[in-house]
Amino acid sequence: MAISDTQKVDYLWKKLGYAATKTDTNSAKKAPNEAIASPLVLRGDKVLKQASSIPATLPASSTGVLTVYPTSAPIETTNDATAAANRTWKTGQTDWVSPEFGSTYQVKVYIHTSSNAGSAASGGSQVFATGSGNDDEWFFDYQSGVLHFIGTNLPNGISFSGKSVYIAGAKYSGTFGVGGDTGAFTFTDNRLQTTTTNEEIIIEPAGTGYVAIDANSGLIIPVGTTSERPTGQTGMLRFNSSTSQTEVYNGSAWASVSATNTITKNDFSGNDSTTAFTLGASTTTNAVLVTLNGTVQEASNAYSVSGTTLTFTNAPATGDVIQVRSFHSGTAQPAQKFQSFTTTQRNALTSANGDVIYNTTTHKFQGYANGSWVDFH
C-alpha cells in the first residue's frame, strides 16, 4: 500500500513544526506528543555569510554578493529530460535569493523563443506563480534553481515548441560559512579557515577559563623550516623541520624547547690492562666527568672520549673504581636523577669525592672533588 498524502503531511508537520520524527499516526500520537527530536540539518557551508549585505530591494545590476539576472537579460533554463515534457526547467545556478529578503526577489518567469533572452520580457509570455486559473501554477526552488510547473496543467494557451523558460531574479554570489559578515573565518567540512589573508584566529575564554582539547591522540602544531619562521609573537610555538626541534618565541628570539639536558652514569672496574671502556651513549671528552677511586681525572691528559668509547692514557689498576658521568643536551638518554639542593643546603652536606648534585641556586650540576664543589657547565 502506498504512503498516503495524509501520512506525508503528518510527517512534514511533525518534522517542520515540532522538529520531531513521526513514530505513529496522527490519530494515535499528535505532533506535540512526539518525543524523538529530529531537527533540520543546517549545513555550515551553505550559510550565507554575507546575508546582511544583500539589499532589501533587488538591485538593477550585480553587486559584490549578488549576481543579478534582470528582465532585460534573464537566464535561459534547460528542460529536465528526466521529467515529463516541459514540466521542469533548470537554471544551472544554485542559491537564488528568495523573497525572504524582500518581495522584489520573487523571480519572474517568461516563456519565449529559445536563445533570445534579450526580448524574453518584452516579446515573450510572462507566467505567474499563482497560474491563470487553469491549475497551471509553478513553484521555484531557490536553493536548487529549478522551476517546476506544479499544477495539473502546463501554462494555459502557451506552446513550448521552439521555446524556453527564462528566469529573472538574483543569485547569491557572496561567501559561505559560519560567522558575521566582517568575521574572519569559515567552516568547510572539518576545516576552520580565515577569509582574510594573514588574519589571526583567536580563542578567548572568559574569566579564568582555559582552552582544553578533549582527546587522547595528539595535537599537531605548525611545522616549517627555519626560513619559514613567521614574525615572532611572545609565546608562539612551532616545530622547526630544519633542526627537528620544537621552538618557542621568547619575546626576542626563537629558542628550542626540544633539548633535554640529562646525565647518564656508567661504572667500571680496572684490571690493570684494559684502557678502553664502552659508555652507554655517545658523548665527547669535554662532556664527561671521570673519577678514579673518587678522584676526578683530568680530561685529555688522563682520558679521552670518542663516541661511546672512553680511553684512558694508562690502564686503571686492578680493583680501581671507575665512575663516569656523561652530560647530554638535545636528545633524551636513559637518565640518572640527582638530588637538588640550594647552595646553603649543599654546604651543610657531608660530602665525598664523586658526589653529584643539582644546585638550584646556580641552576648548575656540580660534583665534589678534592675538597670542593665544581660546576660541570
pLDDT in tens, the chain (377 residues): 578 889 899 999 998 888 899 999 889 999 899 999 998 888 888 889 889 899 999 999 999 999 999 999 999 999 999 999 999 999 999 999 999 999 999 999 999 999 999 999 999 999 999 999 899 999 999 999 999 999 899 998 899 999 999 999 999 999 888 654 445 566 666 777 777 777 778 888 888 888 888 888 888 889 999 999 999 888 899 998 988 888 888 888 888 775 556 778 899 999 999 999 998 878 888 888 999 998 888 888 899 999 889 999 999 999 999 999 887 655 444 445 567 889 998 888 888 887 788 888 988 888 888 888 888 75
Count Cβ atoms below 10 Å from residue 330 Cβ, excluding itself.
14
Count CA atoms closer than 13 A to 278's CA, side-chain side: 1
User: So what's the pLDDT on residue 113?
Assistant: 97
Count Cβ atoms below 10 Å from residue 225 Cβ, excluding itself.
10
| Phi, psi angles (nearest 5°) of residue 25 | -65, 160
**Residue 144, C-alpha cell as written in the block:** 536548487
- List 139's β-bridge partners, or say none: 148
Cite the DSSP H helix spans in the chain.
5-12, 18, 120-123, 343-347
Q: Give dist(CA 315, CA 40) in Å, integer.
A: 84
User: So what's the pLDDT on residue 40?
Assistant: 84
Q: Give dist(CA 80, CA 115) in Å, integer.
A: 17
Q: Give dist(CA 289, CA 305) in Å, integer.
A: 11
Q: Give dist(CA 139, CA 158) in Å, integer.
A: 18
C-alpha closest to that of 90 among 139, 145, 143, 36: 145
Assign residue 294 a region: left if phi > 0, alpha if psi is -120 to 50, beta otherwise?
left
Cβ(316)–Cβ(302) below 8 Å: no
Cβ(282)–Cβ(307) below 8 Å: yes
DSSP-derived secondary structure letter, 37: B
**Residue 47, C-alpha cell as written in the block:** 550559510
The DSSP bridge pattern shows strands 276-284 and 88-90 to be unpaired
**Residue 46, C-alpha cell as written in the block:** 551553505
**Residue 25, C-alpha cell as written in the block:** 499516526
Which residues, 6+ apart, have CB-to-CB distance to 316 below 8 Å?
268, 270, 271, 272, 274, 292, 322
Cβ(290)–Cβ(297) below 8 Å: yes
- List 284's β-bridge partners, or say none: 306
| Phi, psi angles (nearest 5°) of residue 325 | -115, 120
